[in-house]
Structure 1
Amino acid sequence: MPQAFYETLAKIAYQKNLHRRIAGTVRRLAEELKVPEIGGLNIADVSTLIEDLIDVHLHNIQERERFQESRNRALFLPHCARKYMDSRCQARFDAEIPSYYCARCSPDCLINKAVTLGQNKGYDVYILPGGTCIPQILERNPYDGVVGIACSQELKQAKEFLKNKDLPAQAVFLTKNGCAETKFSLQTLEEIL
């Protein structure tokens, strides 16, 4: 089947909210696969995480065409993915923007690599302490497309805000959550960008 068929199917499923309707099946599948024992999460958390992953993926498919038509784009990175969260990180925070500015002090830092990738592709890059900074940045800058990397909670908040602004967005899920030492896939980010 052509890729367009699957994209159309995903868009319809997303519009009908089908991914939310399968929560019971997801819980049963998680129990059968012993995901709570393996991952250390309870069934409700596993179910929510899987629903959120599906939601982000379907949203990316739904918004991809509109996003690709955009030209003036921003990339929002989570500050918690910096290699160091102490004085070893030389990033400078500007409260006016609000964003950190990478000083490129660690070549192996995930944020350093993502900043380079985003800038090389023509994005304005922001390293945010949280999703609440996004409205302030978007008020000052007329972006017509954004990419964000975050945990599911931050992505949900940003999605609602961006939906109200009718701004096409793409999202990259963190592969390791937390408030420090978080991770994401550079390969996934490059594909999205």
Structure 2
Amino acid sequence: MKLYSVEIEERRRRVVDVVAPSEAAAKASVGMRATRSGLSTRILGVCETQLAPSAPDGLRALDHLLNAKFLPIRDTPQTLRFWVLNAEHQLVHEHENTEMMELLQLGLSRAGLRVSMVEEVIHLSVAGDAVPFLPQVFAETPWAKNGWRKAFMALPGATPGQNTFAGIRSRSARIPLRQTLDALNSERSASNANLH
């Protein structure tokens, strides 16, 4: 599986990240989403998503984490990106679906993650190596052996914390989610522009 960025035009232009086995499948996935939502969508371009090696270490670590395969929803494989973005959506829309928010937080907790609102800003807390899932995700990467926490703490707005994740108390790095995702998308766009 590869991660593709699919640029679409709705009322506004934006880039949607889609995990798919091919460019055609990424386009089809966006088309199905648009049909389900009743929006008229025109795809403007598709490119395989990459981050340059020169991208900030914390952003590359976050990109690696968000692309990790995680629990399926309705028998459809999902990445942590899906889980995190859906939890963010639930917080922005003030828990539209309380059961869904509880399910998302429970699942994310097992991964050593928590999405929460702190002073009107949505944050992503990432556990240290006490939560078994994270050392597996970062094994054989530059962020192994709890190096991910150091990388995340170097991101703008990051603060140290202590949280309980699925019953395990752990030190954590708390990052402003939307600000960091916007920086990640900008870095990805710049990297992809250099490929063409």
Pairwise TM-score range, normalised by the shorter structure: under 0.3
| Structure with greater Cα Rg | 1
> TM-score of the superposition, structure 2-length normalised?
0.25
> Is the strand fraction higher in 1 or 2?
2
Instruction: Tell me the TM-score normalised to structure 1 length.
Output: 0.25
Greater relative contact order, per chain length (Cα 8 Å cut-off, separation 6+): 1
Greater helix share, structure number: 1
